[in-house]
Amino acid sequence: MQYLGDQLAEWVRSLSQLQQLVLDEDENTAIILQQTAVMQPQFRAIIAAIEAAALSPAVEQSLRPYQTEAHRRLRLMSVEGMKLRTARSPETLAQVRSQLKAHLDQLQQFAIAMTNELG
Model pLDDT, residue 70 = 96
* Average pLDDT along the chain: 92
Q: What is the CATH number of domain 2-118?
A: 1.20.120.330
Q: Tell me: the pLDDT tens digits for 45-100?
A: 999 999 998 899 999 999 999 999 999 999 999 999 999 999 999 999 999 999 99
φ/ψ region of 24 (left if φ > 0, alpha if ψ in -120 to 50, else beta) reads beta
pTM for this predicted structure = 0.90
Cα–Cα distance for residue pair 113/115, rounded to 1 Å: 5
Task: Pick the closest to residue 45 from 92, 8, 89, 74 (CA basis).
Answer: 8
Domain segments of the chain as ranges = 2-118
